[in-house]
Amino acid sequence: MHARSPAGRRDSLRNNAPVTDHFQSLLADKTPFPDDLAGRLREQLTFLVEIDRLKTVMRQSPLASAERRENDAEHSWHLAMMVVILAEYSDEPIDVGHAVELVLVHDLVEIYAGDTPLYDSTAGVDQQEREVIAAEKLFGLLPDDQARRIRALWDEFEERRTPEARFAKAMDRLQPLLLNWMARGGTWQTPGITADDVRSRKAVIGDASTVLWEAGRRFIDEGEARGWSRTNISPG
Amino acid sequence: MHARSPAGRRDSLRNNAPVTDHFQSLLADKTPFPDDLAGRLREQLTFLVEIDRLKTVMRQSPLASAERRENDAEHSWHLAMMVVILAEYSDEPIDVGHAVELVLVHDLVEIYAGDTPLYDSTAGVDQQEREVIAAEKLFGLLPDDQARRIRALWDEFEERRTPEARFAKAMDRLQPLLLNWMARGGTWQTPGITADDVRSRKAVIGDASTVLWEAGRRFIDEGEARGWSRTNISPG
């Protein structure tokens, strides 16, 4: 464990062994940095090497450009580009640089907590608990001031109380929608999922942008009309 | 071709068939968007789908977290995180959000022009020409105002005349240096390359940050001492 972590954090990690067992050692421990690398920079580089793991966290979404699924690092970069290009459609003024920072860090906790598929109704049960533990472990590698700052960005994204967080979340929903459209179904075809489920899970796009949610709904409606998602069966 | 491209651009593409032959059709053409999607947003989403290809452009650098090489999208995300965490070491004040935008877009032209390995002395001959053609084709998918803006960001990165561009470039050199360290050699072991070659190609880090170039040199020196790169053979 990282020397700066308070004892409480270490205990909470010990009590949640399943979350952290696979990550007992840090990537940086595989090839320790030169001994004389200064403390603060050493912590920052330890964190920056550790987050290389985001490139190995696989999502459900199929790429548009290759026959494989997307990983979290690729996804985070794609969201950042979407913020830069689509910010003009935010219903409220946003600080683009701040919204970009939110999407860059929004999935980091999945390095230790794993990806929770949007259409998996059971996987989310202990998701929040796992992600908080992961955040403490991962961000705790950084110098304290930066650990607090990255944690604050992640909390802001999760809580969606700022215009930037709402727009970042909208991108997080719109990007896989585009990839599913390109794949003519993709995860819309998850067993048990209907077009209405897709609409309800994507509706948060409308909390940030009327224009983008209108477009998103067009993609979903058209996909349903083409048979790329299941039409809802009324329970009566 | 994109309807907005001026005739001169189309001609320049025709005269450079090897660069563009593999990309005659856009990804968005595989699954055309709904007909009624408005013009400006349609152009923006066409671009955002097309850049999915950055996830398939492979670099030479080995990941620290898996036994495979890195792709450009993962690399761009990693650089953005490095800007956020290491900006304090810039010798000149920088706008972090602006430097982040520079690294997000800096490799986009490689979608059509391909990656040019740092230690490949022949591949760079027509690199600039290929990349300019790629920039015109790719950024030309965007509405004109955004095409100009993204092109300006790419030009700024390439020209390195601003503190943000120098810092972005430094991250572009420091990140693979860290990955090579983690791999105990990596591309430092390219045939014909010596530790002095590595030092000379990484020296631009020092144009942005005295502290980070001092650290970078320590990694290179220590790597050489451990036999992870070739010690220079004096020509006498």
In angstroms, the CA B106 to CA B76 distance is 8
Q: Which residues of B fall within a CB distance of 8 Å from A36?
A: 218
In angstroms, the CA B158 to CA B153 distance is 9
CB-closest option in A45, A52, A97 to B97? A97
Q: Which of A57, A65, A104 to mutate to test the interface with B (most CBs of B within 10 A)?
A: A65
Average pLDDT over residues A187-203: 94
Q: Which residues of A fall within a CB distance of 8 Å from B47?
A: 85
Q: Which residues of B fall within a CB distance of 8 Å from A66?
A: 55-56
pLDDT value for A6: 38
pLDDT value for B22: 55
Question: What's the mean pLDDT when you consider all of chain A?
Answer: 89
Q: What is the pLDDT of residues A65-91, one digit of tens each?
A: 999 999 999 999 999 999 999 999 999
Q: Which residues of A fall within a CB distance of 8 Å from B82?
A: 48
CB A142 within 8 A of CB A44: yes
**Lowest mean pLDDT segment, chosen from A2-16, A53-67, A97-111, B132-146:** A2-16
CA-based nearest residue in chain B for residue A103 = B77
pLDDT value for B56: 97
Q: Which of A51, A69, A70, A85 to mutate to test the interface with B (most CBs of B within 10 A)?
A: A85
How big is the A-B interface in CB pairs under 8 Å?
A: 164
If pLDDT is split at 50, 70 and 90, which confidence band does A29 have? Answer: very high
Residue A233 pLDDT > 70:
no
Inform me whether the C-beta atom of residue A225 falls under 8 Å from chain B C-beta atoms: no
In angstroms, the CA A210 to CA A206 distance is 5
Tokens for B234? Answer: 């004096």
What type of residue is B34?
P
Q: Which residues of A fall within a CB distance of 8 Å from B138?
A: none
Q: How far apart are the first and last CA of chain A?
A: 56
CB A83 within 8 A of CB A103: yes
pTM for this model (two decimals): 0.89
* Surface of A (124-163) touching B: CB under 8 A: 142, 146
What type of residue is A209?
S
The CA–CA distances, whole Å, from A196 to A122, A220, B119 equal 19, 9, 52
With the CA atoms of B103, B105, B110 and B113 taken in that order, what torsion angle do they form, in degrees rounded to the nearest 10?
-130
CB-closest option in B33, B53, B86 to A44? B86
| ipTM, interface predicted TM-score of the complex | 0.89
The CA–CA distances, whole Å, from A91 to A138, A165, A206, A208 equal 34, 13, 9, 6
CA-based nearest residue in chain A for residue B46 = A178
CB contact (8 A) between residue A77 and residue B74? yes
Average pLDDT over residues A40-48: 98
Q: Which residues of B fall within a CB distance of 8 Å from A76?
A: 77
Closest CA to B48 of A41, A146, A75, A140: A75
CB-closest option in A48, A76, A146 to B82? A48
CB contact (8 A) between residue A48 and residue B85? yes
Q: Which of B25, B30, B45 to mutate to test the interface with A (most CBs of A within 10 A)?
A: B45
Inform me whether the C-beta atom of residue A26 falls under 8 Å from chain B C-beta atoms: no
- SS3 label, residue B2: coil
Inform me whether the C-beta atom of residue A185 falls under 8 Å from chain B C-beta atoms: no
Selected residue with higher pLDDT from A234 and A75 = A75
Tens digit of pLDDT at every position of chain B (236 positions): 333 333 333 333 333 334 444 567 999 999 999 999 989 999 999 999 999 999 999 999 999 999 999 999 999 999 999 999 999 999 999 999 999 999 999 999 999 998 877 777 666 668 888 999 999 999 999 999 999 999 999 999 999 999 999 999 999 999 999 999 999 999 999 999 999 999 999 999 999 999 999 999 999 999 999 999 999 765 54
In angstroms, the CA B108 to CA B97 distance is 18
